[in-house]
Amino acid sequence: PVKAVIFDLDGVIVDTAHYHFLAWKRLAKELGVDLTEQQNERLKGVSRMRSLEIILSLGGITLSDHEKEKMANRKNSWFVDYVERMAPEEIFPGVKQLIHELKGKGIKIGLASASKNAKTVIQLLHIQNEFDAVVDGTMITHSKPHPEIFLLAAHKLGVEPKDCVVFEDAEAGVEAALAAGMKCVGVGSSEQLHKANKVISKTGEFKISALEEFQV
Ligand code: BG6
Ligand code: MG
């Protein structure tokens, strides 16, 4: 039976994935790289430093660790500027209702985000109390597609990985969920997220009756 649902944050609960993209695009431009939306798919779900390294490799650029640190901080300050102007209304339609329905069925709710800003974001959205467990980028050593973040979330929730369903918008996140032995609902394009057990275009579209497809 499904005992827990674990949500990714950026691009699943709120459109902060777009803010990450805008901030990376701005930084990439300064570095002489024109970051496309398709290339940006590779940045989704992975850590800040890993994202920067992907952009640098796209431009064939080498930077010292010190310069990389500075660039990553620049990108983050722009991202934080966007986030601070965010309102609770920006949470995707239907997400809160979905969480409440799941809770009504006795299902635990987890958050597993690679972002070190995840706690700030959920506080700004006033949803920090909705989660039975939160794992963010400050608590892990391996980025998605490594399963660490989801395994830690399951551990904190006190459920076995096989009884968890993950909602993810990133290819790396889908891979991480499957590598953790969990089921995964992809949120976005079925082409990009074809490895997921099921793909929907928006989180709020999910009907909890569909959880039956995941019963083992
Ligand atoms: C993930 C995003 O949730 O968090 C990535 O999908 C982002 O785009 C990563 O790079 C790290 O976020 P932050 O806020 O720690 O830079
Ligand atoms: Mg995401």
Q: What is the pLDDT of residues 34-80, one digit of tens each?
A: 999 999 999 999 999 999 999 999 999 999 999 999 999 999 999 99
For 103-125, the pLDDT digits (tens) are 999 999 999 999 999 999 999 99
* Percent above pLDDT 90 for the chain: 98
* pTM assigned to the model: 0.97
Ligand 1, pocket-test mutation among 6, 7, 10, most atoms within 8 A of CB: 10
Phi first, then psi: give them for residue 112, nearest 5 degrees.
Answer: -135, 95
- Confidence check: pLDDT of 214 > 90: no
On average, the pLDDT of the chain sits at 97
- Confidence check: pLDDT of 188 > 90: yes
Going by alpha carbons, the residue nearest to atom 12 of ligand 1 is 115
- pLDDT class of 215 with cuts at 50, 70, 90: confident
- Confidence check: pLDDT of 216 > 70: no
* Percent above pLDDT 70 for the chain: 100
For 121-137, the pLDDT digits (tens) are 999 999 999 999 999 99
Start-end of H helices in the chain:
16-30, 37-40, 48-58, 65-84, 95-104, 118-124, 148-157, 171-179
Contact call for residues 166 and 172 (beta carbons, < 8 A)? no
Q: Which atom of ligand 1 is nearest to the CA of 9?
A: 3
